[in-house]
Amino acid sequence: MDHDPKVVLMGEDIGALGGVFRVTDGLQKDFGEDRVIDTPLAESGIVGTAIGLAMRGYRPVVEIQFDGFVFPAFDQIVTQLAKMGNRSAGRVRLPVVIRIPFGGGIGAVEHHSESPESYFVHTGGLRVVTPSTPEDAFWMVQQAVACPDPVVFLEPKRRYWDKGEVPEGAVLRSPGDAPRPFGAAHVARPGADVTMLCYGPMVRTCLAAAEAAAADGTADIEVVDLRSLSPLDLPTVMASVRRTGRAVVVHEAPTTLGLGAELAARVQEGCFYHLEAPVLRVGGFSAPYPAAKIEDEYLPDLDRVLDAVDRVLAH
């Protein structure tokens, strides 16, 4: 915001309060009410206003307070924001970032713990990304703001309290400043026996599973943090699966028609003669998000991830 006066923030309670998760804490004090704007509780209006501002040369960054609250804005995102570039043959670009805290694990209820990424990945014209570490969030949000296309920026809400080193004060001035390209996957842990494909909140879970499997001698697991869900970095995915011959996809969202289904199909098409076992998926169940007291039964955990590893190794 210091380096681009066209960047404006909008959302519910993001000003004086700093947002429900305090992501924008202090920014209204520093940049004023004209650039950090508290909005009414009207998600469709927030995104619609952002589209109009982007058409006038601004770079709006919108906060949706919780994942389940994005659906009132779904029409604006899918039928306007995503399509304007193609509709105008590239003459009108809409550099809008929609930040959405997503996923469960914080003891909240439905509308506050959902994983809606597949709806947006299915929509052409949107980039969909999610960081898994503080450092990645630090760089990736700057890359999202600099991107000329609409970006859905999914923030794993149960990782808001994670601590990590970030280069405080560093500013993205060119694409090469960030340690990883926008849209590139990252091998978070190398391994030889099984590729684990994951993103957002599940990366830490998968890394813990890989360490547990290594400790008991079960398997040497390679963990690939997808980072970008649309577009997918398929060359990195394929290269890993061709090395290991086995793949498990892990996400919080329901497995039915989720990102895991797409990845399983792509891996089957691209790595068929390298696969030693079917691609398995570990995810949420095809049911409404449960009451907080039983969400641990719904979300993938270490046991469910390691059970999938045992099953792919059994082939």
Q: Which one from 111, 112, 122, 251 is the annotated catalytic residue?
A: 112
Instruction: Please state whether beta strands 221-225 and 186-189 pair in parallel, antiparallel, or not at all (unpaired).
Output: antiparallel
Asked if 112 is an active-site residue, the reply is yes
3-state secondary structure of 205: helix
The span from the CA of 18 to the CA of 1, in Å, is 16
The span from the CA of 181 to the CA of 52, in Å, is 29
Residues near 116 by beta carbon (within 8 Å), at least 6 away in sequence: 67, 68, 70, 71, 100, 102, 253
The span from the CA of 39 to the CA of 62, in Å, is 10
Q: Is the dihedral of CA 305, 264, 284, 144 positive or negative?
A: positive
Q: How is the beta sheet containing 280-284 ordered, strand by strand?
A: 186-189, 221-225, 194-198, 247-254, 280-284
Angle (nearest 5°) at CA 134 between 128 and 136: 45
**Which of the residues are catalytic?**
112
